[in-house]
């Protein structure tokens, strides 16, 4: 049976390149994986006081992550680090203490940027948070996509051949990583 992979997109904007990449990853991934974007834009900011009666959005999010077999993050870099919405989602999933829904889920990270650096800093800051919440992240291949505004065909949503081939290698390696856990 295909493994269910929760996909977190770090950008909330409608025309987000990262969301388009996430959609393309779903298209090019093999039958071993079933990718589903889990929305993070509706999650109230994490506040421990709310744990007495947690917002329904938190509960729904935790449930979706809990019943997934892996976590795939596709994110831009904001000011050399993780977009706040993504960090908030990581925090929401990590609590209440002792009940983190991330624990042990095999993950992978793709970052992109309009600059040439491909979100390198964000990629490694995501890794830093995931070390602590015990999401083992695939180390190789890595995926940094620079000049993200140039990786789509004229239809604005299909990857150009070169980027598709690059990400296909990444998505072909991920099931092996997921199956190790």
**Which residues contact ligand FMN (rule: CB under 6 A)?**
11, 13, 16-18, 76-80, 113-115, 117, 119, 148
Q: Which is nearer to ligand FMN, 17 or 130 (by Cβ)?
A: 17
Q: Which is nearer to ligand FMN, 100 or 113 (CB)?
A: 113
Q: Which of 65, 169, 41, 170 is nearest to 108 (CA)?
A: 170
* Least CB distance to ligand FMN at residue 147 (A): 10
Question: Using CA atoms, how far apart are residues 132 and 116, in angstroms rounded to an integer?
Answer: 29
Helix residue spans in 37-108 (DSSP H)? 56-66, 84-94
Shorter beta-carbon distance to ligand FMN: residue 13 or 59: 13
* Least distance from ligand FMN to the Cβ atom of residue 148, Å: 6
Residue 85: exposure state from Cβ atoms within 10 A (0-12, 13-18, ≥19): buried
Which of 93, 119 has the CB closer to ligand FMN? 119
**Smallest gap, in angstroms, from Cβ of residue 12 to ligand FMN?**
8
Question: Which CB atom, from 27 or from 80, has the smaller least distance to ligand FMN?
Answer: 80
Q: Least distance (Å) from ligand FMN to the CB of residue 86?
A: 11
Helix/strand/coil percent split, the chain, to 5: 40, 20, 40
Minimum CB distance to ligand FMN, residue 121 (Å): 7
∠ at Cα 8 (165, 58), nearest 5°? 170
Reading the block at residue 69, the tokens are 């077999």
Instruction: Look up residue 40 and give its two tokens.
Output: 């993070």
């Amino acid at each position: 049976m295909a493994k269910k992979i929760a996909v977190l997109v770090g950008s909330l904007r409608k025309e987000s390149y990262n969301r388009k990449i996430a959609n393309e990853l779903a298209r090019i991934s093999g039958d071993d994986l079933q990718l589903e974007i889990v929305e993070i834009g509706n999650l109230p900011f994490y506040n421990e006081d709310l744990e007495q009666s947690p917002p329904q959005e938190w509960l729904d999010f935790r449930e979706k992550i809990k019943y997934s077999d892996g976590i795939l993050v596709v994110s831009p870099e904001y000011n050399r680090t993780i977009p706040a919405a993504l960090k908030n989602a990581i925090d929401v999933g990590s609590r209440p203490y002792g009940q983190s829904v991330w624990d042990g889920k095999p993950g992978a990270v793709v970052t992109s940027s309009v600059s040439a650096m491909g979100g390198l800093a964000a990629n490694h800051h995501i890794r830093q948070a995931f070390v602590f919440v015990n999401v083992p992240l695939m180390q190789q291949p890595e995926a940094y996509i620079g000049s993200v505004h140039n990786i789509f065909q004229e239809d604005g949503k299909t990857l150009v051949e070169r980027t598709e081939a690059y990400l296909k290698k990444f998505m072909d390696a991920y099931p092996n990583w997921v199956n190790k856990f």
